[in-house]
Amino acid sequence: MPSIAKPRIPLAPLAHNDLGLTIRDYEGAMSTLCAGCGHDSVTAAISLAFFELSIRPRDIAKLSGIGCSSKTPTYFINGAHGFNSAHGRMAAIATGAIAAQRGLHYIGVSGDGDSLSIGLGHLSHAIRRNVDMTYIIENNGVYGLTKGQVSPSADVGSRPKKGDPNVVPPIDPMELGLALGATFLARGFSGDKDQLVPLIKAAVAHRGFALLDVISPCVSFNDHEGSTKSYRFFREHEVHEIETDFVPQRAEIRSKISSDSARAVTMHDGSVMYFRALPEGYNPTDRVSVEAYLAERKAMGEVPTGLLFLREGAPDLHDMSGTVSRPLADLDLADLCPGNDALQRLQESFR
Protein backbone atom coordinates (compact mmCIF):
# COMPACT_ATOMS: atom_id res chain seq x y z
CA MET A 1 0.00 0.00 0.00
CA PRO A 2 1.86 3.05 -1.17
CA SER A 3 -0.53 5.65 0.14
CA ILE A 4 -0.99 4.52 3.71
CA ALA A 5 1.76 2.87 5.59
CA LYS A 6 0.12 0.71 8.22
CA PRO A 7 2.20 0.60 11.39
CA ARG A 8 2.84 -2.90 12.54
CA ILE A 9 1.55 -3.47 16.03
CA PRO A 10 4.28 -1.93 18.19
CA LEU A 11 6.40 -4.58 19.76
CA ALA A 12 8.47 -4.95 22.86
CA PRO A 13 12.11 -5.95 22.34
CA LEU A 14 12.48 -9.63 21.64
CA ALA A 15 12.62 -10.89 25.18
CA HIS A 16 11.66 -14.46 26.01
CA ASN A 17 8.99 -15.46 28.44
CA ASP A 18 8.96 -18.43 30.78
CA LEU A 19 8.01 -20.70 27.89
CA GLY A 20 10.92 -19.43 25.86
CA LEU A 21 8.57 -17.69 23.45
CA THR A 22 8.98 -14.17 22.15
CA ILE A 23 6.35 -11.57 21.56
CA ARG A 24 6.33 -12.61 17.90
CA ASP A 25 4.66 -15.82 18.99
CA TYR A 26 1.79 -13.72 20.26
CA GLU A 27 1.29 -11.71 17.11
CA GLY A 28 -1.42 -12.10 14.56
CA ALA A 29 -2.14 -11.04 10.99
CA MET A 30 -1.51 -7.51 9.84
CA SER A 31 -4.22 -5.15 11.01
CA THR A 32 -6.57 -3.72 8.40
CA LEU A 33 -8.00 -1.11 10.75
CA CYS A 34 -7.57 2.59 10.16
CA ALA A 35 -4.16 3.98 10.99
CA GLY A 36 -4.34 5.28 14.53
CA CYS A 37 -7.37 3.26 15.59
CA GLY A 38 -7.38 2.69 19.33
CA HIS A 39 -8.26 -0.94 18.80
CA ASP A 40 -4.79 -1.65 17.44
CA SER A 41 -3.32 -0.54 20.74
CA VAL A 42 -5.59 -2.90 22.62
CA THR A 43 -4.50 -5.67 20.29
CA ALA A 44 -0.89 -4.94 21.17
CA ALA A 45 -1.70 -4.90 24.86
CA ILE A 46 -3.42 -8.27 24.63
CA SER A 47 -0.44 -9.80 22.85
CA LEU A 48 1.87 -8.41 25.47
CA ALA A 49 -0.26 -9.50 28.39
CA PHE A 50 -0.42 -13.12 27.23
CA PHE A 51 3.25 -13.06 26.40
CA GLU A 52 4.08 -11.83 29.86
CA LEU A 53 1.74 -14.34 31.42
CA SER A 54 3.65 -17.08 29.60
CA ILE A 55 0.51 -18.81 28.41
CA ARG A 56 0.92 -21.10 25.42
CA PRO A 57 -0.91 -19.76 22.37
CA ARG A 58 -2.66 -23.10 21.92
CA ASP A 59 -4.12 -22.74 25.39
CA ILE A 60 -5.88 -19.58 24.40
CA ALA A 61 -9.17 -19.24 22.56
CA LYS A 62 -10.22 -15.87 21.21
CA LEU A 63 -13.75 -14.93 20.27
CA SER A 64 -15.52 -11.89 18.95
CA GLY A 65 -18.74 -10.59 17.46
CA ILE A 66 -18.90 -8.25 14.47
CA GLY A 67 -17.43 -4.77 14.23
CA CYS A 68 -14.01 -3.20 13.78
CA SER A 69 -13.20 -4.26 17.33
CA SER A 70 -14.41 -7.76 16.61
CA LYS A 71 -11.99 -8.05 13.70
CA THR A 72 -9.03 -7.64 16.04
CA PRO A 73 -8.64 -11.23 17.27
CA THR A 74 -7.18 -11.94 13.82
CA TYR A 75 -4.46 -9.49 14.71
CA PHE A 76 -3.16 -11.20 17.82
CA ILE A 77 -1.89 -14.64 18.76
CA ASN A 78 -2.01 -16.55 15.49
CA GLY A 79 -1.49 -19.81 17.32
CA ALA A 80 -4.73 -19.52 19.25
CA HIS A 81 -8.01 -20.77 17.82
CA GLY A 82 -10.40 -17.96 17.04
CA PHE A 83 -14.06 -17.47 16.34
CA ASN A 84 -15.30 -14.33 14.65
CA SER A 85 -18.99 -14.98 15.19
CA ALA A 86 -22.12 -12.95 14.61
CA HIS A 87 -23.06 -9.47 15.73
CA GLY A 88 -23.79 -9.43 19.45
CA ARG A 89 -23.69 -13.19 20.02
CA MET A 90 -20.15 -13.73 21.21
CA ALA A 91 -21.00 -14.01 24.90
CA ALA A 92 -23.43 -16.85 24.24
CA ILE A 93 -21.08 -18.64 21.90
CA ALA A 94 -18.22 -18.28 24.35
CA THR A 95 -20.44 -19.68 27.10
CA GLY A 96 -21.01 -22.82 25.07
CA ALA A 97 -17.34 -23.18 24.22
CA ILE A 98 -16.33 -22.79 27.82
CA ALA A 99 -18.93 -25.29 28.94
CA ALA A 100 -17.43 -27.76 26.48
CA GLN A 101 -13.73 -27.09 26.87
CA ARG A 102 -12.73 -25.70 30.23
CA GLY A 103 -9.03 -26.26 29.65
CA LEU A 104 -8.37 -23.00 27.83
CA HIS A 105 -8.03 -19.31 28.55
CA TYR A 106 -10.84 -17.50 26.82
CA ILE A 107 -10.61 -13.96 25.64
CA GLY A 108 -13.53 -12.24 23.99
CA VAL A 109 -13.19 -8.94 22.16
CA SER A 110 -16.23 -6.90 21.36
CA GLY A 111 -17.35 -3.37 20.65
CA ASP A 112 -19.71 -1.07 22.45
CA GLY A 113 -22.30 -1.65 19.74
CA ASP A 114 -21.77 -5.37 19.70
CA SER A 115 -22.00 -5.66 23.48
CA LEU A 116 -24.40 -2.96 24.58
CA SER A 117 -26.90 -2.85 21.71
CA ILE A 118 -27.65 -6.13 20.07
CA GLY A 119 -25.63 -8.22 22.51
CA LEU A 120 -26.77 -6.66 25.77
CA GLY A 121 -28.87 -9.64 26.81
CA HIS A 122 -26.13 -12.17 26.22
CA LEU A 123 -23.48 -10.06 27.92
CA SER A 124 -25.73 -9.57 30.93
CA HIS A 125 -26.46 -13.24 31.31
CA ALA A 126 -22.83 -14.22 30.84
CA ILE A 127 -22.06 -11.88 33.72
CA ARG A 128 -24.70 -13.59 35.86
CA ARG A 129 -23.36 -17.01 35.00
CA ASN A 130 -19.86 -15.79 35.86
CA VAL A 131 -18.53 -17.54 32.78
CA ASP A 132 -14.78 -17.87 33.21
CA MET A 133 -13.39 -15.57 30.54
CA THR A 134 -11.91 -12.17 29.85
CA TYR A 135 -14.37 -9.96 28.02
CA ILE A 136 -13.02 -6.76 26.55
CA ILE A 137 -15.25 -4.02 25.23
CA GLU A 138 -13.27 -1.79 22.87
CA ASN A 139 -15.41 1.20 23.61
CA ASN A 140 -15.42 4.08 21.13
CA GLY A 141 -18.96 5.37 21.48
CA VAL A 142 -19.72 4.67 17.83
CA TYR A 143 -20.41 1.87 15.42
CA GLY A 144 -17.11 2.02 13.61
CA LEU A 145 -17.62 -0.60 10.94
CA THR A 146 -20.97 0.76 9.80
CA LYS A 147 -19.48 4.22 9.58
CA GLY A 148 -20.13 6.13 12.67
CA GLN A 149 -23.63 5.89 14.15
CA VAL A 150 -23.84 6.57 17.87
CA SER A 151 -23.65 3.52 20.07
CA PRO A 152 -25.32 2.98 23.46
CA SER A 153 -22.16 4.13 25.20
CA ALA A 154 -22.14 7.52 23.53
CA ASP A 155 -22.51 10.39 25.94
CA VAL A 156 -25.46 12.70 25.70
CA GLY A 157 -24.47 15.57 23.44
CA SER A 158 -21.68 13.72 21.64
CA ARG A 159 -21.97 14.33 17.96
CA PRO A 160 -21.41 11.58 15.43
CA LYS A 161 -19.79 12.34 12.09
CA LYS A 162 -23.16 12.01 10.43
CA GLY A 163 -26.42 12.69 12.16
CA ASP A 164 -27.48 14.56 15.24
CA PRO A 165 -25.83 14.71 18.63
CA ASN A 166 -26.75 11.80 20.80
CA VAL A 167 -29.72 12.38 23.10
CA VAL A 168 -30.17 8.97 24.71
CA PRO A 169 -28.40 8.45 28.06
CA PRO A 170 -25.46 6.06 27.79
CA ILE A 171 -24.99 2.63 29.29
CA ASP A 172 -21.87 2.44 31.39
CA PRO A 173 -20.76 -1.19 31.29
CA MET A 174 -19.24 -0.83 34.74
CA GLU A 175 -22.48 0.34 36.32
CA LEU A 176 -24.33 -2.36 34.45
CA GLY A 177 -21.87 -4.95 35.70
CA LEU A 178 -22.33 -3.83 39.28
CA ALA A 179 -26.10 -4.11 39.00
CA LEU A 180 -25.80 -7.60 37.57
CA GLY A 181 -23.44 -8.93 40.18
CA ALA A 182 -20.28 -9.00 38.07
CA THR A 183 -17.21 -10.35 39.84
CA PHE A 184 -14.48 -8.40 38.02
CA LEU A 185 -14.90 -4.94 36.57
CA ALA A 186 -12.08 -2.83 35.25
CA ARG A 187 -11.63 0.08 32.90
CA GLY A 188 -8.63 0.99 30.83
CA PHE A 189 -7.68 3.32 28.03
CA SER A 190 -6.17 2.14 24.78
CA GLY A 191 -3.63 4.93 24.99
CA ASP A 192 -2.17 3.80 28.31
CA LYS A 193 -0.55 0.48 27.79
CA ASP A 194 1.23 0.63 31.13
CA GLN A 195 -2.09 0.44 32.87
CA LEU A 196 -3.88 -1.70 30.33
CA VAL A 197 -1.50 -4.65 30.20
CA PRO A 198 -1.69 -5.34 33.94
CA LEU A 199 -5.47 -5.00 33.82
CA ILE A 200 -5.66 -7.60 31.07
CA LYS A 201 -3.36 -9.87 33.02
CA ALA A 202 -5.54 -9.50 36.09
CA ALA A 203 -8.64 -10.21 34.03
CA VAL A 204 -7.09 -13.38 32.62
CA ALA A 205 -6.06 -14.44 36.09
CA HIS A 206 -9.54 -13.89 37.50
CA ARG A 207 -11.66 -16.99 37.82
CA GLY A 208 -15.03 -15.98 36.48
CA PHE A 209 -16.25 -13.31 34.13
CA ALA A 210 -13.81 -10.41 33.91
CA LEU A 211 -15.32 -7.41 32.17
CA LEU A 212 -12.80 -4.91 30.89
CA ASP A 213 -14.10 -1.69 29.42
CA VAL A 214 -11.37 -0.10 27.32
CA ILE A 215 -11.89 3.40 25.99
CA SER A 216 -10.53 3.06 22.45
CA PRO A 217 -10.96 6.06 20.16
CA CYS A 218 -12.20 5.74 16.58
CA VAL A 219 -10.17 8.07 14.39
CA SER A 220 -12.47 7.80 11.42
CA PHE A 221 -15.78 8.76 12.84
CA ASN A 222 -14.81 11.22 15.46
CA ASP A 223 -12.57 13.47 13.41
CA HIS A 224 -15.05 15.87 11.96
CA GLU A 225 -14.86 19.52 12.74
CA GLY A 226 -18.24 21.18 12.79
CA SER A 227 -21.39 19.93 11.20
CA THR A 228 -21.42 17.46 8.40
CA LYS A 229 -25.03 16.63 8.36
CA SER A 230 -25.82 17.33 4.79
CA TYR A 231 -26.14 14.58 2.20
CA ARG A 232 -24.95 13.85 -1.23
CA PHE A 233 -28.08 14.76 -3.07
CA PHE A 234 -28.47 18.13 -1.43
CA ARG A 235 -25.22 19.54 -2.67
CA GLU A 236 -25.53 22.49 -0.35
CA HIS A 237 -22.83 20.90 1.68
CA GLU A 238 -19.17 21.58 1.57
CA VAL A 239 -16.85 18.64 1.47
CA HIS A 240 -19.15 15.75 1.99
CA GLU A 241 -17.89 13.72 -0.93
CA ILE A 242 -14.47 13.72 0.42
CA GLU A 243 -15.33 13.20 4.00
CA THR A 244 -17.19 10.01 3.36
CA ASP A 245 -14.36 8.29 1.68
CA PHE A 246 -11.31 9.98 2.97
CA VAL A 247 -9.86 8.77 6.21
CA PRO A 248 -6.92 10.81 7.39
CA GLN A 249 -4.07 9.02 9.01
CA ARG A 250 -4.08 9.80 12.66
CA ALA A 251 -1.55 9.19 15.29
CA GLU A 252 -2.65 6.96 18.08
CA ILE A 253 -3.59 8.81 21.23
CA ARG A 254 -1.35 7.98 24.15
CA SER A 255 -1.50 9.11 27.69
CA LYS A 256 -0.37 7.61 30.89
CA ILE A 257 -2.89 7.79 33.63
CA SER A 258 -1.29 8.85 36.85
CA SER A 259 -2.90 7.86 40.08
CA ASP A 260 -2.98 11.21 41.78
CA SER A 261 -5.07 13.42 39.55
CA ALA A 262 -7.39 13.22 36.59
CA ARG A 263 -5.52 13.47 33.33
CA ALA A 264 -7.02 15.27 30.38
CA VAL A 265 -6.69 13.50 27.04
CA THR A 266 -7.69 15.21 23.83
CA MET A 267 -9.52 12.85 21.52
CA HIS A 268 -9.43 12.92 17.74
CA ASP A 269 -12.60 14.91 17.55
CA GLY A 270 -11.12 17.60 19.76
CA SER A 271 -13.14 16.65 22.79
CA VAL A 272 -11.34 16.12 26.05
CA MET A 273 -11.79 13.14 28.31
CA TYR A 274 -10.62 13.16 31.88
CA PHE A 275 -9.18 9.87 32.98
CA ARG A 276 -8.58 9.25 36.61
CA ALA A 277 -6.80 6.30 38.09
CA LEU A 278 -8.25 4.98 41.30
CA PRO A 279 -7.07 6.68 44.48
CA GLU A 280 -4.92 4.99 47.08
CA GLY A 281 -7.00 3.03 49.52
CA TYR A 282 -9.83 2.50 47.05
CA ASN A 283 -11.73 -0.61 48.04
CA PRO A 284 -12.83 -2.56 44.97
CA THR A 285 -14.62 -5.20 47.02
CA ASP A 286 -17.33 -3.01 48.49
CA ARG A 287 -20.05 -2.49 45.94
CA VAL A 288 -21.82 0.35 47.69
CA SER A 289 -18.69 2.45 48.01
CA VAL A 290 -17.72 1.63 44.44
CA GLU A 291 -21.10 2.80 43.21
CA ALA A 292 -20.79 5.98 45.19
CA TYR A 293 -17.29 6.65 43.90
CA LEU A 294 -18.30 6.07 40.30
CA ALA A 295 -21.27 8.38 40.68
CA GLU A 296 -19.12 11.09 42.27
CA ARG A 297 -16.50 10.97 39.52
CA LYS A 298 -19.13 10.83 36.81
CA ALA A 299 -20.64 13.99 38.21
CA MET A 300 -17.17 15.57 37.84
CA GLY A 301 -17.06 14.46 34.20
CA GLU A 302 -14.23 12.06 34.91
CA VAL A 303 -13.72 8.50 33.79
CA PRO A 304 -12.16 6.40 36.55
CA THR A 305 -9.80 3.72 35.31
CA GLY A 306 -8.27 0.71 36.98
CA LEU A 307 -9.67 -2.35 38.71
CA LEU A 308 -12.99 -0.94 39.82
CA PHE A 309 -14.63 -3.95 41.41
CA LEU A 310 -13.58 -7.41 42.39
CA ARG A 311 -15.25 -10.35 44.04
CA GLU A 312 -13.10 -13.44 44.12
CA GLY A 313 -14.27 -16.90 45.02
CA ALA A 314 -17.73 -16.62 43.55
CA PRO A 315 -18.87 -19.78 41.79
CA ASP A 316 -18.35 -19.75 38.05
CA LEU A 317 -20.38 -21.49 35.36
CA HIS A 318 -18.69 -24.80 36.04
CA ASP A 319 -19.17 -24.58 39.78
CA MET A 320 -22.81 -23.74 39.24
CA SER A 321 -23.18 -26.65 36.85
CA GLY A 322 -21.15 -29.10 38.87
CA THR A 323 -19.25 -30.23 35.79
CA VAL A 324 -16.32 -32.60 35.97
CA SER A 325 -12.88 -31.09 35.83
CA ARG A 326 -11.99 -32.96 32.66
CA PRO A 327 -13.22 -30.94 29.71
CA LEU A 328 -16.50 -32.34 28.40
CA ALA A 329 -15.22 -32.11 24.84
CA ASP A 330 -12.46 -34.55 25.74
CA LEU A 331 -14.78 -37.30 26.95
CA ASP A 332 -15.35 -40.36 24.79
CA LEU A 333 -18.60 -42.12 24.12
CA ALA A 334 -17.45 -44.81 26.52
CA ASP A 335 -17.53 -42.24 29.31
CA LEU A 336 -20.95 -41.04 28.29
CA CYS A 337 -23.13 -43.81 26.96
CA PRO A 338 -24.93 -45.98 29.53
CA GLY A 339 -25.01 -48.97 27.15
CA ASN A 340 -27.62 -51.50 26.19
CA ASP A 341 -28.07 -53.14 29.57
CA ALA A 342 -28.99 -49.88 31.17
CA LEU A 343 -31.34 -49.15 28.28
CA GLN A 344 -33.11 -52.44 28.76
CA ARG A 345 -33.43 -51.89 32.49
CA LEU A 346 -34.70 -48.40 31.97
CA GLN A 347 -37.35 -49.59 29.57
CA GLU A 348 -38.89 -51.71 32.29
CA SER A 349 -40.43 -48.45 33.41
CA PHE A 350 -41.86 -47.85 29.94
CA ARG A 351 -44.19 -50.82 30.14
Partner 1 sequence: MSTAPGVNDFALKLANVNGTGSASANGLLMQSIFRMGVPVSGKNLFPSNIQGLPTWYEIRVNGAGHTARSLEYHLMVAMNAQTYAQDVASVASGGYVLYDSSWPLDDDLIREDVNYLGVPLAAMCREHFTKNRERILMKNVAYAGALVALLDIDLDIVSTLLAETFAKNEALRESNQRALRLGYDVARENFPCPLPFRVEARGENQDSILVDGNTAIALGCLYAGATVVGWYPITPATAVMDNFIALCKRYRRVEVAPGEWENNYCVIQAEDEIAAIGMVLGASWAGARAFTSTAGPGISLMNELLGLAYYTEIPAVVVDVQRVGPSTGMPTRTQQGDLLACAYASHGDTRHIIVIPADPHEAFEFAVAAFDLAERFQTPVFVLSDLDIGMNDWIVPSLTWDDSFVPNRGRVLHDEDLANMREFFRYAHEDDDHVTARTLPGSDEKGAYFIRGSGHDRFGRYTEESGAYLQVVDRLRAKHASAAHHVPAPLEVRRPGSRVGLVTMGSCDRAVREAIELLAEQGVDCDYLRVRAFPFADSIRDFVDSHESCFVIEQNRDAQLKSLLTVELSLTPASMTSILDYGGFPLSASTVVEAVLAHQEVH
Ligand X SMILES: Cc1ncc(C[n+]2csc(CCOP(=O)(O)OP(=O)(O)O)c2C)c(N)n1
- Binding residues (CB under 6 A) for ligand X: these are 66-69, 87, 111-114, 138, 140, 142-146, 151
Distance in angstroms (rounded) separating the CA atoms of residues 40 and 23? 15
Binder to a second copy among 7, 10, 103, 169 (CB under 8 A)?
169
Does residue 38 touch partner 1 according to CB under 8 A?
no
Task: CB nearer to ligand SF4: give 39 or 129.
Answer: 39
Give the pairing of strands 272-277 and 263-266. Answer: antiparallel
With CB under 5 to 8 Å by kind, the binding choice for 277 among ligand SF4, ligand X, Mg ion, none is none
Does residue 37 touch ligand SF4 according to CB under 6 A?
yes
Does residue 242 touch partner 1 according to CB under 8 A?
yes
Residues 252/38, Cβ–Cβ less than 8 Å: yes
**Any idea what DSSP says for residue 36?**
T
Binder to partner 1 among 51, 143, 293, 309 (CB under 8 A)?
143
Q: Where are the alpha helices (DSSP H) in 101-144?
A: 112-113, 120-129
Give 20-24's long-range contacts (Cβ < 8 A, gap of 24+): 21/51, 21/54, 21/56, 21/57, 22/51, 23/47, 23/48, 23/51
With CB under 5 to 8 Å by kind, the binding choice for 122 among ligand SF4, Mg ion, partner 1, none is partner 1
* Minimum distance, C-beta of residue 142 to ligand X, in the bound complex (Å): 6
Distance in angstroms (rounded) separating the CA atoms of residues 260 and 241? 45
In the region spanning residues 300 to 339, those forming contacts with partner 1, defined by CB under 8 A, are 317-318, 321-325, 328-333, 335-339
Does residue 86 touch partner 1 according to CB under 8 A?
yes
* Minimum distance, C-beta of residue 65 to a second copy, in the bound complex (Å): 14
Sign of the Cα pseudo-torsion (152, 153, 156, 160, in order): negative
In the region spanning residues 124 to 153, those forming contacts with a second copy, defined by CB under 8 A, are 124-125, 128-130, 152
Exposure b/e, 8-22, CB count within 10 A at least 16 = b: ebeeeeeeebeeebb
Task: CB nearer to Mg ion: give 87 or 318.
Answer: 87
Give the pairing of strands 149-150 and 263-266. Answer: unpaired
3 exposure class (CB count in 10 Å sphere: 0-12, 13-18, 19+): exposed
Binding site for a second copy (CB under 8 A): 117-118, 120-121, 124-125, 128-130, 152, 167-169, 171-172, 175-176, 178-181, 233-235, 287-288, 291-292, 295-296, 315, 320-321, 346, 349-350
Binding site for ligand SF4 (CB under 6 A): 33-34, 37, 39, 68, 140, 144-145, 218-221
